[in-house]
Amino acid sequence: MSKKRPASEYQKTFAFRFFRWLSGEKDPYIGEMEMHPQEEYQPDREAALRHEREHDAIMDKVYDTEHNRSLHLFHRLYQATSILFCLFLIALLLVTISYLPATGTVNRPVNNEVAKRYIEKGLEETGAVNIVAGMILDYRAFDTLGESHVLFVATITVLILLRLNKTQKDEAEISDRRFEPKNDAILQLVATFLVPVIIIFGIYIILNGHLGPGGGFSGGAVIGAGLVLYLNAFGFKKTERFFTEKTYKWVCFFSLSFYCLAKSYSFYTGANQLHSVIPKGTPGAILSSGLILPLNIAVGLVVACTIYAFYAMFRKGGF
């Protein structure tokens, strides 16, 4: 204690505290016991507002994509990982492919009894010269049934998305007219020549589906293309004379119903080992191969209408 220290400093020293405890002046617990009551919860409007403002500020910052560095970084990172992933996928697939059976050779698992029977007995069993057509419309007709319904459901979704109601349709029509090439002479002239040719070609493809390359889908697509060309050349006014939504609806309905019922009959008889009454006909003739031709026609109709409908929907949102 040779040099005098100020009291406040002295009171902080360990010695002082020790001495206080020694002499019984200090209690370890006293400070703990006399506590103030806990505050009741008070809804604080100010704080809430401030919180809200802060929240907004944060949100602004988050959505400020131009200046958000971390977002940029994240994008970069995302892209980099995606690219890496894709490179990895390429490598993986290439490796896989390198182990696959050699293409073009005969002795592969693919060329087994299944393909053999299709080729050897296909003509006999389905009556279709085009083995592929026979396969997809008879051997594996269930897939094809599904496939046509994929198309159907896609049309439905497009309708849901793009079909407009009455008033919207009128507006859309007005705006559409503005962009429509009106009375484009060259187009109309060419169309006059080409459309029948295209449609006839399409019909040919459909009808020969079981005899050669082609079939309902390809033919229908060609016909659809012809219709689209016609629409482009002559406008909705002209097409609506023979093709409206109603037409589309009923054509689709009848085609698909026919498809469904026909195939159901075929499946049912097949599964129950019943005799099917549908004649196979002479291989090579147009009217041959049992249900394949009618089914091709049905599919063709559906596809043609659908292609046209897609176009009309995309362009205007209605027929």
Partner 1 sequence: MYFILLSIFFPILAGLFLLIRFRTPLSGEKAGTDRKPLLVLTGIFLVITAVFAFAAPLTAREGFTLFYLTETLPIYFRIDSVGQLFSLLAVIVLLCAGFFSFSYMKHEERESRYYGFYLILFGVLNALCFAGNLITFYLFFELLTLSSMPLVLHNGSREAIMAGLKYLFYSLCGAYGALFGIYFLYQSCDTLTFTAGGVLKETAVTQHGGFLLLTAFVMLLGFGVKAGMFPMHAWLPTAHPVAPAPASAVLSAVIVKAGVLAVVRITGYIFGTGFLRGTWVQTVWMCLTLITVFMGSMLAYREPVLKKRLAYSTVSQLSYILFGLAVMNEASLVGSLFQVLAHGFVKAALFLCAGAIIYKTGKTRVEEMRGIGKEMPLTMWCWTIASLGLVGIPPTGGFVSKWYLALGSLKSGLPVLDVLGPIILLVSALLTAGYLLPLTIHGFFPGGDYDYSGLQKKEPRKLMTVPILILTSLPVVIGLFPDTIAGIILMAVKGR
Partner 2 sequence: MGPNLFTNYGEAVSAVLFCIGFTNLLLQTNLIKKIIGLNIMDSAIYLFLAEKGYIAGRVAPIVVNGVTSTEAYINPIPSGLVLTGIVVSVSVTALMLSLTIRLYTRYHTLNLDEISMQLKKEGK
Partner 3 sequence: MIISVILIPFIAGILVPIIPFQKRWQKEVFLETAVVLNSILVWYLLLHHSDSTFLLAHFTGNLNISFRVDGMSMVFAGLVSALWPFATLYAFEYMTKEKHENVFFLFYTLTYGVTLGIALAANLLTMYFFYELLTLVTVPLVMHTLTREAILASRKYLYYSLGGAAFAFLGLIMVIVYGSTTDFILGGVLDPAKTVGKTNVLLLIYVMAFMGFGVKAAVCPFNSWLPQASVAPTPVTALLHAVAVVKSGAFAIIRLTYYSFGTDFLKGTWAQDVVMAVVMFTIVYGCSRAVKETHLKRRLAYSTISNLSYILFGAVIMTPLGLVGALTHLVFHAVMKISSFFCAGAIMHQTDRHYVHELNGLGYKMPCVFGIFTVASLALMGVPGLAGFVSKWNLAQAAVESGNPLAWGGIACLLVSALLTAIYMLTIVVRAFFPGKDFDYGTVSGIRDPNWKMLLPLFIFTVFIILFGVYSQPLVDFFMEVAGGNI
The footprint of partner 3 (CB under 8 A) covers 29, 32-38, 41
In whole angstroms, give the CA distance from residue 203 to residue 300. 8
| Residues touching partner 1, count (CB under 8 A) | 10
* 2, 7, 24, 39: which one binds partner 1 (CB under 8 A): 24
Q: Which does 38 bind (CB under 5 to 8 A by kind): partner 2, partner 3, partner 1, none?
A: partner 3
Q: Minimum distance from CB of 279 to partner 2 (Å)?
A: 19
Minimum CB distance to partner 3 smaller for 51 or for 53:
51
Q: Which does 105 bind (CB under 5 to 8 A by kind): partner 2, partner 3, partner 1, none?
A: partner 2
In whole angstroms, give the CA distance from residue 291 to residue 278. 7
In whole angstroms, give the CA distance from residue 203 to residue 219. 6
Q: Minimum distance from CB of 149 to partner 2 (Å)?
A: 9
Taking CB under 8 A as the rule, does residue 107 contact partner 1?
no
Nearest to 198 by CA among 178, 177, 221: 221
Note whether 176 and 316 are within 8 A (CB). yes
Residue 148: other Cβ atoms inside 10 A: 23
* 38, 104, 193, 241: which one binds partner 2 (CB under 8 A): 104
In whole angstroms, give the CA distance from residue 86 to residue 82. 6
Minimum CB distance to partner 3 smaller for 29 or for 99:
29
Q: Which does 41 bind (CB under 5 to 8 A by kind): partner 3, partner 2, partner 1, none?
A: partner 3
* 15, 22, 106, 186: which one binds partner 1 (CB under 8 A): 22
Q: Minimum distance from CB of 42 to partner 3 (Å)?
A: 11
Taking CB under 8 A as the rule, does residue 25 contact partner 1?
yes
Q: Which residues touch 41 (CB under 8 Å, ≥6 apart)?
A: none
User: At 260, which amino acid appears?
Assistant: C
Q: Minimum distance from CB of 28 to partner 3 (Å)?
A: 11
In whole angstroms, give the CA distance from residue 295 to residue 205. 13
CA torsion 20-25-30-31 (nearest 10°) is: -50
